[in-house]
Amino acid sequence: METNNKKINQMHLDLLGELGNIGSGNAATALSQILNKTVYLDVPHVELCNISEVASSFGDPEFRKTAVFFQTQQDVKGYVLLVFEDEDVKKISKIAAGGLEIDPDSVITEIGNIVAGSYIGALASMLEGKIDLTPPQIAHDMLGALIDNIVSLICVVADELVIIKTKMTIGNETIPSFFILFLEDESLNKLLDYFNFEK
């Protein structure tokens, strides 16, 4: 893949994974405090994906999913998407609400906020920069439709994109969810600069 001024190779992907690891560790801690359960976020999987395959890399593009969406602004420009199965939204909100009747959408939006906030917070403090998150938006729709708008914004130049994705385990239940970070070119380069790669 060629971004504006760099070629991305496997070493870059591995290092972006490391970077994501710090973020997801932070997010897991925050979430486990809220839920009072053990929370694991898997070591982030970083991959280069051709746009024609990006939607299907997360599952059947036609299946209904719930997504919580954020834009990141300031020093790192990109998009965060948390994708859950509808069933898991109910499951998680049951755990979080502790017997209270709360709208699952509000619960999952708030959980998304915590996960994205702590992940991005870790990234910002490491880069010694400032990253803002826009307020969360929630949508229920076909997976492909939830993703393509964001992909279009990332792929104005390149036909491939870098995806950072993580899976979540709450208590002893694996939640087949995705935390996806899409980075705009300029910000991807900034992250690579952080590791002092030659241009």
Partner 1 sequence: MTNINVGMGEIKTSKTPNNILIAPGLGSCIGITMYDKIKKIAGMAHVVLPSAKETTGKAALLGKYADTAIPEMIAKMKDLGAQTKDLEIKIVGGAQMFNLERGGNILNIGMRNILAVKTAIEKEKLKISASDTGGNKGRTLKLNVETGTVLVKILGQKEIKL
| Interface ranges with partner 1 (CB under 8 A) | 2, 51-56, 60-62, 64, 69, 71, 77, 134, 137, 139-153, 155-159
Q: Hey, what long-range contacts does 99-107 have (CB within 8 A, 24 or more apart)?
A: 105/66, 105/138
When the beta carbons of 55 and 92 are compared against partner 1, the nearer one is: 55
Query: What does the block give as tokens for 174?
Result: 């694996």
DSSP structural state of residue 55 = T
When the beta carbons of 14 and 86 are compared against partner 1, the nearer one is: 86
HSE-up of residue 104 (Cα within 13 Å, Cβ side)? 16
| Sequence-distant (≥ 6) Cβ neighbours of residue 45 within 8 angstroms | 17, 164, 165, 166
Nearest distance, CB of residue 71 and partner 1, angstroms: 7
Nearest distance, CB of residue 52 and partner 1, angstroms: 3
When the beta carbons of 2 and 18 are compared against partner 1, the nearer one is: 2
When the beta carbons of 36 and 134 are compared against partner 1, the nearer one is: 134
Rounded distance between C-alpha atoms, residue 35 and residue 25, angstroms? 15
Residue whose structure tokens are 């069933």:
87
DSSP H or E stretch at residue 58: none
